[in-house]
């Protein structure tokens, strides 16, 4: 191999990065914090709405389980299951209105 075929590499000079303005950095930081706060607020509101739905699903499942777990209900059991169902319905109405 001859020296004619060997390529010489030149070092790349990296220009110095400009120093950002401190006022701009503070403004950018404040904007990022406010955007993060807005996102977390929206996320928490969705989580609360999801908890309402979970409460409704759990209460409906409990009512269904109580009804299915008594294969031959007597009249007093039917009355008590109805009272339980009405109580859960009222609780769901209260949760939905809050």
Q: Which residues contact 92 (CB under 8 A, 6 or more apart)?
A: 55, 56, 59
pLDDT < 70: residue spans in the chain = 1-7
pLDDT at 86: 95
| pLDDT for residue 3 | 59
CA distances from 43 to 9, 48, 51, 88, 91 (A): 53, 9, 12, 28, 25
pTM of the model: 0.51
């Amino acid at each position: 191999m001859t020296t004619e075929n060997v390529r010489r590499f030149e070092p790349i000079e990296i220009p110095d990065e400009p120093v950002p303005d401190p006022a701009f950095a503070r403004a950018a930081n404040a904007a990022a914090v406010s955007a993060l706060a807005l996102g977390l607020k929206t996320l928490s509101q969705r989580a609360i709405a999801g908890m309402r739905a979970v409460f409704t699903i759990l209460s409906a499942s409990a009512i269904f389980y109580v009804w299915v777990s008594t294969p031959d209900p007597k009249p007093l059991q039917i009355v008590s299951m109805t009272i339980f169902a009405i109580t859960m319905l009222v609780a769901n109405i209260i949760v939905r209105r809050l």
